[in-house]
Chain A
Amino acid sequence: MNITLKIWRQKNKDDKGGFVKYQLDNVSTEMTFLEMLDYLNEKLVHEDNDEPVAFDSDCREGICGACGLYINGRPNGPQEGVTTCQLTMSAFKDGDTITVEPWRSKSFPVMKDLVVDRTAFDKLIEAGGYISVNTGAAPEANSIPVPKKNADRAFDAGICIGCGTCVASCKNASAMLFVSAKISQLALLPQGKVEAKERARNLVKTMDELGFGNCSNTGACEAECPKDIKLTNIARLNREYYKAY
């Protein structure tokens, strides 16, 4: 199929940037979206002598959270429950115009083209996305009982890959779903309970300082999250925060 791409191009952090249109022919529906961008870049480099489009990717199997593009008005494009690397070109039709933008958030500045700086998420993890344990021999796992329900809920939150889709989709560029996933993952388990109060206080404080917006319970994050992290986690984050004072 033949498609038209409208891609955000920006030379560096300080460049104003703008959209550039590309015509791309003979795109296979079996390509992933990133393979299609690779294909475009080969054409740009080898045929047009142009600068390739910069975008992030690493594992390309939906685990690492490095990719992530805003495609036709939705983060990770029109397919449900996928990261951008898992999106396939079968989601598009011949003759389609596809608009590709980087994540937009004050806390995720655009570095080049479609690449954003997500250091803000690292800072959140540093602020409370961890537990402190003594090093040494691993203790007997069954000596601390964990109810199955809690283990499952912690796991469902723990599968967050920190891709930033929640921030990208939120009308307020809020990081509440990401923070709530970290809070839930740890607060539901005995090992995480020890530092629960400190964690809730530090994470919310850091989240506010980093300039993320406030949650208005709109639900776009839940609808778009490729890992299906639920809004119930945000309610838990709120509860954990109240308990911390």
Chain B
Amino acid sequence: MNKVIASSISKKFVMALAGLFLLTFLPVHLGINFLLLNPDPEPFNEAAEFMATFPVIKIVEIILMLAILIHIIYGIVLQIQNWLARPRRYSSGSKSKTSFFSKFMIWTGGTIFIFLVIHFLNFYFIKLGLVDGIPVEGEAEDFYSVAYQLFKKPVYNIIYWVCFAGLGLHLFHAFSSAFQTLGLNHRIWTPVINFLAFVYAIIIPLGFMSIPLIIWLFK
């Protein structure tokens, strides 16, 4: 049994499942973020409150955190093994035709990780009560104002954009790669999945990036 869990394909299988699960979460989060563009802070704060308290979401949240953790740990383990598999690099480099962004998954993944750390410090850890410093307005914590304060800072916005660009580049390869790892490669459906992956990798990060831009410029 140990051999199964430790095998290269098993690790990739778990990574792919965890990754695909994380992909389902992004549109939900983006949808809530768009409420920030509403001049009324209530809907956003209520949505944040709902996400923090609704029992089903709480369970999903635990799975989500586990998925992030496993995806990161296995990603690093596999990458180290990959580096070790070729101790000496080619001096003439590599000019083979490849899925370009697959070469940088560890780095684009690292960018996403940096963002998660910042994001957790700013929002999630506050929600868990691990970090202080949140204005309370009425019943709920006012995350709307926190977001506005952050998005008014150009430095934060630049970090935010760089990180989401990293997410986009990660997704370019990740989405379709996960299906191949799960053994799903089909004459008709694989090109469809690749197209959907391409659209997803552009729309989702651009959606996230547009919100601070609009707040910074117009609000």
Instruction: Tell me which residues across on chain A come within 8 A of B13, comparing CB atoms.
Output: 238, 242
Could you tell me if A204 and B92 are in contact, using CB atoms closer than 8 angstroms? no
Contact flag A238-B183 (CB < 8 Å), given A70-B92, A99-B92, A214-B11? yes
Could you tell me if A218 and B4 are in contact, using CB atoms closer than 8 angstroms? no
Asked if A163 is at the interface of the complex by the 8 Å CB criterion, the answer is no
Identify the closest chain B residue to A99 (Cβ).
B92
Could you tell me if B103 and A73 are in contact, using CB atoms closer than 8 angstroms? no
Least CB distance from B73 to A in Å reads 14
Identify the closest chain A residue to B174 (Cβ).
A217
In the complex, per-residue mask of B112-136: 1 if CB is within 8 Å of any chain A CB, else 0: 0000000000000000000000000
Instruction: Tell me which residues across on chain B come within 8 A of A169, comparing CB atoms.
Output: 94, 96
Instruction: Tell me which residues across on chain A come within 8 A of B180, comparing CB atoms.
Output: 217, 231, 234-235, 238
Asked if B219 is at the interface of the complex by the 8 Å CB criterion, the answer is no
Could you tell me if A106 and B86 are in contact, using CB atoms closer than 8 angstroms? yes
Asked if A236 is at the interface of the complex by the 8 Å CB criterion, the answer is yes
Instruction: Tell me which residues across on chain B come within 8 A of A73, comparing CB atoms.
Output: 90, 92-96
Instruction: Tell me which residues across on chain A come within 8 A of B78, comparing CB atoms.
Output: 214, 216
Asked if A13 is at the interface of the complex by the 8 Å CB criterion, the answer is no
Contact flag A236-B183 (CB < 8 Å), given A218-B99, A223-B98? yes
Assembled-state Cα–Cα distance A194/B12 (Å): 26
Contact flag A104-B88 (CB < 8 Å), given A216-B102, A218-B99? yes
Contact flag A235-B7 (CB < 8 Å), given A101-B90, A211-B84, A223-B98? no
Assembled-state Cα–Cα distance A105/B83 (Å): 10
Assembled-state Cα–Cα distance A71/B81 (Å): 25
A75, A107, A215 — most chain B CB neighbours (10 Å): A215
Could you tell me if B96 and A205 are in contact, using CB atoms closer than 8 angstroms? no
Could you tell me if A172 and B97 are in contact, using CB atoms closer than 8 angstroms? no
Identify the closest chain B residue to A236 (Cβ).
B183
Asked if B36 is at the interface of the complex by the 8 Å CB criterion, the answer is no
Asked if A174 is at the interface of the complex by the 8 Å CB criterion, the answer is yes
Assembled-state Cα–Cα distance A208/B105 (Å): 21
Asked if A21 is at the interface of the complex by the 8 Å CB criterion, the answer is no
Asked if B85 is at the interface of the complex by the 8 Å CB criterion, the answer is yes
Least CB distance from B89 to A in Å reads 7
Could you tell me if B183 and A242 are in contact, using CB atoms closer than 8 angstroms? yes
The A106-140 residues at the B interface (CB cut-off 8 A) are 106-107
Least CB distance from A153 to B in Å reads 11
Could you tell me if A232 and B183 are in contact, using CB atoms closer than 8 angstroms? no
Could you tell me if A172 and B98 are in contact, using CB atoms closer than 8 angstroms? no
New contact pairs (9) apart from A174-B82, A204-B7, A208-B7, CB-CB < 8 Å: A101-B91, A106-B85, A204-B8, A207-B8, A218-B103, A219-B102, A223-B96, A238-B9, A238-B182
Q: List 7 A-B contacts (CB under 8 A).
A: A105-B85, A169-B96, A172-B81, A173-B85, A174-B85, A235-B183, A238-B13
Q: Which residue numbers of A lie inside 8 Å of B, CB to CB?
A: 19, 70-75, 99, 101, 104-107, 169, 171-174, 204-205, 207-208, 211-220, 223-224, 231-232, 234-239, 241-242, 245
